[in-house]
Structure 1
Amino acid sequence: MAALLSNTLRSTRITLEMIKWEHSIFALPFALTGAVLAAGGWPRWRTLLLVVVCMISLRTAAMAFNRLADAEIDSINPRTATRAIPAGLLTKGFVGAFTLLSLAIFVAAAGALNHLTLLLSPLSIAVVLSYSYMKRITRWSHLVLGLALGIAPSAAWIAVRGSLDARIIVLSGAVLLWVAGFDVLYACQDFEHDRTHGLNSVPQAFGLQGAFLLARTMHLLMIGLLVWLVMLFHLGMIAYVGIGIVAMLLLYEHSLISPTDLRRMNAAFFTLNGVISVVFFCAIAVDVMLHRPGVDSAIGVLR
């Protein structure tokens, strides 16, 4: 019994390392932004906690499922061959069970929020799990990944209000473009491998120069949508300053790498994107708290 418990804990630790659960910070602040906008301030702590549980559990399930679905592909790619499943550190059975447990936690948390979140939970699961197979089908799999994270703000809005407002979809669109853009850049590392093995991606289809141009366009459009969001919710100068900082961070991110130099990809992909999401959330949250009467009037029609 002690050996079984020890093996289970060890496998769980390796699984959490494999899926980089700490990178939930990418999308979580955007989900919290949706919740703050929906509440016109800080949501109830119970609701906020359940939103966090939903976000982390669904993202955990999606990443574990992705590693499971990509095990064979990862085994033949030098960059990913050392991941836990192809390296033999984890069995597919354990990762499959871990995925199902994470999904069960997600559905339970969604059901505890309200009826609509429970009804929509299968759709959320379908979106986030489908990404794992998109690279086999289309070069635009990056957009599906963007959608998987982009639904977070809208889902959080539904969690708080039990209904959907079209304006929050603007934030979902911004997150979609943000994630798709940096995923296009990240995929540049596998450019040669994808071409050799017939896997679809934007870099594989358009080359590295084309991929960088498209990623920059996506991030420029993202900034435009964020400005539109602030206008729709009648936010103030703090929100605009936050967007300005996000724009500068994105510019710096793109300056770290180029089609001929991808060495600093991890710094651009992981560190800066985490900072971007936190900065944006903090700016919007502070602005909403300071200008609550204006925000309340902007969303009062939904109350």
Structure 2
Amino acid sequence: MRFKNPLGGVSLSVDALSAPFGKFTDVCRMIKIEHSVFALPYAWAGAVLAARGLPPLWSLFFLTIAMVAARSFAMAFNRLVDLPFDRDNPRTQNRPLVTGAITTKQTWAFCAFMAIIFVVACGCINQVCLWLSVPALIFSAIYSILKRFSPMCHFWLGATLGLAPLAGWLSVSPNSLTLPPLLLFLAVTFWVAAFDIYYAFQDMDFDMAFDLHSIPATCGAETALALAAFSHAMTSIFLLLAGFAAGLHWPWYVVWLGITTMLFVEHRLMKPQDLRHVNTAFFTLNGIISPVVLIGVVLGIYL
């Protein structure tokens, strides 16, 4: 991608600017930048709840930087740890690390850079966020190795993204942590676990062959679907309770009903024997749900 220099001379290339970590487009593919839509709205929702309105712009700005950096670190680290498996899995053989478009050395450098940005951004928010920054990075990294040992990896990933509303709340109110962000943490944990179980159906045979402990590979398709349905039910319940605990007004409950309906549709779309709709269930619907939660929180406060 190139931008013309308005003053003439050599044009600027985003890919050239990102050369230490690989081409910009390859880095975005590696970390699936579009998936930031899953966690970021929940972080903003936590901040809005703590402020009971628009959070301070300073904390909101650095919260956004911290969230993007933390997710980028976690995704890049996951790609490094999974590289031996990604080379053998037909579904993942076009990933930049597998093809050599990005080297492992560049990815380690990228991880270190994102970790530094995350810690600095947390320090710019407040002291509590700074203290929690390194433990949060470690927590996010554990998911990448957990699949080798436990099918609970889906719920660990859920809890990692579930930290988003807690982070948002602490960015505004570092000295108190009340029930609403904790209930949102539980809602996000179960929500992510459900769609990660769905996503794992794509690699069910591969995981069984390579002794990886996803829930579909460990428990079978029917049990996995039942656990995903249970997780969606818990998501709906905890979102409802979060609205009650936060004292949100009627628009939140309209949004909650819509989200619950989308979760039901998502579950109906998933059929282990027919994965044509897995991207719709995984990305499209869930990419809608998280911004809708944020909209519901804002409307529930102001209307």
**Length-normalised TM-score, structure 1:** 0.92
For residues 90-109 of structure 1, the aligned pairs below 5 Å read 90-109=102-121
Amino acid at match of 2:277: R
What do the CA deviations read for 1:38-62 (whole angstroms, capped 9, x no partner)? Answer: 0011101111111111111100110
Deviation readout 1:91-116 (Å, 9 max, x if unpaired)? 00001101111111110000001110
**Structure 2 residues without counterparts, runs of 5 or longer:** 1-12
Is the 2:221–2:272 Cα contact (8 Å) retained in structure 1? yes
- Give SS of 1:70's match: helix
Q: Per the alignment, in what secondary structure is the counterpart of residue 184 of structure 1?
A: helix
Deviation at 1:164, TM superposition (A): 3.6
Alignment of 1:223-238 (within 5 A): 223-238=236-251
Going from structure 1 to structure 2, the CA distance change for 1:6 and 1:128 (only over 3 Å counts) comes to closer
Aligned equivalent of 1:154, options 160, 166, 170: 166
**C-alpha deviations, 1:103-161, integer Å up to 9, x for none?**
11110000001110000101110111111000011111001100110011011111111
Matched with 1:189 is 202
Q: Which residue of 2 aligns with 1:283?
A: 296
Runs of 4+ in 1 over 3 A off after TM superposition: 2-10
Please show how residues 6-155 of structure 1 align to structure 2 within 5 Å. 7-8=19-20, 11-155=23-167
Whether the 8 Å CA contact 1:127–1:147 is kept in 2: the answer is no
Amino acid at match of 2:271: S
Instruction: Give 1:210's aligned residue.
Output: 223
Q: Which residue is 2:183 aligned to? A: 170
Q: Write the distance in 2 (CA, Å) between the matches of 1:248 and 1:123.
A: 36
Could you tell me whether the CA contact under 8 Å between 1:157 and 1:163 is conserved in 2? no
Question: What amino acid maps onto 2:248 in structure 1?
Answer: L
Query: Residue 36 of structure 1 contacts residue 42 of structure 1 at CA under 8 Å; is this kept in 2?
Result: yes
Shift of 1:10: 5.0
**RMSD between aligned residues:** 1.6
Deviation at 1:90, TM superposition (A): 1.1
Match of 1:300 in 2: none
User: Could you give the per-residue CA deviations for residues 72-95 of structure 1, whole angstroms, max 9, x where no partner exists?
Assistant: 111111111111111121100001
Would the aligned equivalents of 1:40 and 1:288 in 2 still touch at CA under 8 Å? yes
Does structure 1 conserve the Cα–Cα contact (< 8 Å) formed by 2:208 and 2:217? yes
Paired positions, count: 289
What is the CA–CA distance in structure 1 between the aligned matches of 2:250 and 2:91, rounded to whole Å? 44
Q: Identity over the aligned pairs, expressed in percent?
A: 38
Paired residue secondary structure (2:289): helix
Q: CA deviation at 1:19?
A: 1.2
Paired with 2:212 and 2:96, the residues of 1 have a C-alpha distance of 21
Letter in 1 for 2:173: R
Greater CA drift, 14-23 or 168-177: 14-23
Gaps of 5+ in 1: 291-303
